[in-house]
Structure formats: structure tokens, C-alpha cells
Amino acid sequence: MARAKMGGSHGWNGNFVESATASFSLAPGDAGKTFILKDAAVTVTLPTLSDINAGYKVTLISGDDNEHILTGGASKIYGHAIDGSGTTAETVLPLTGHSTITPAAGMIIGDKYDIISDGTNWYVYVIAGAEVAGS
């Protein structure tokens, strides 16, 4: 898995921006990072809630048109997905206790997952050009 720091420097907010080209599990030390997912369909697994502190936050951004999947394992994911799959307006999908978030075909560069935890639950807000489904 390639997870090299892009440009070897910190992002604008002082956090690392990394490229991810293969599926991986987030670690407690990844808090505050932004990952650009590209070159293959990437599945990202959230860390176990007992391993992280409240306020753990990470951002995932699609760097290509692959379908990047987010999974919480045994942990549930709550939040909303806003997608542009409708013909005249965005669709808002409530994410209520899902363990996996999967976009349909048609992700575009810049689609984004904002992820945060209060130490008890995961909250994910997705902005995508394709339909997003939770399971």
C-alpha cells in the first residue's frame, strides 16, 4: 500500500495529506489527516472506537472515479450523504447506524468523506457525485 506524504509537507491546517492507492485501516495516529484515495478502489476501515479519543477526525477525498468504500467494522456510522445523482437536485441520505458506506459507480475527483468520532459513535458526512448507500 502506498501511503506516502504528498509533497512531504503539512497541509494548510498543519495536518498531513497522504496518498492512498490500496485498501488500509486507519490508525489512532491518523487523526487530523487527509487521505487522497486514487489509482484503485480503496476500502478504508475505521479504527476501533476504544482505540481512539473523542474528537478523532479524518477526511477522505476521491482522487479518481473509483468507488471508495468506508467501513466501521463492528462500529456503527451515522451522518448524512449528499449526492448529485438526482436529475434536478441533490439527494440527502440519512446514515443511521450503518457499518459500511458504499458509493455507486460514478464517483468523481473531489468527492469527500468528513469523519469524526465522539468516542462512542462515528459521524460521517459525504458529498459525492454518485449515489451513496449504507449497509
Segment 103-118 shows an average pLDDT of 88
Higher-confidence residue of 36 and 11: namely 36
- CA separation for the pair 91, 115 (Å, rounded): 19
CB atoms within 10 A of CB 128: 27
Domain-wise residue ranges, the chain: 5-134
pTM (predicted TM-score): 0.84
Quickly tell me which residue has 468504500 as its cell: 69
- CA separation for the pair 123, 67 (Å, rounded): 20
Segment 83-96 shows an average pLDDT of 64
- CA separation for the pair 24, 28 (Å, rounded): 13
Higher-confidence residue of 43 and 74: namely 43
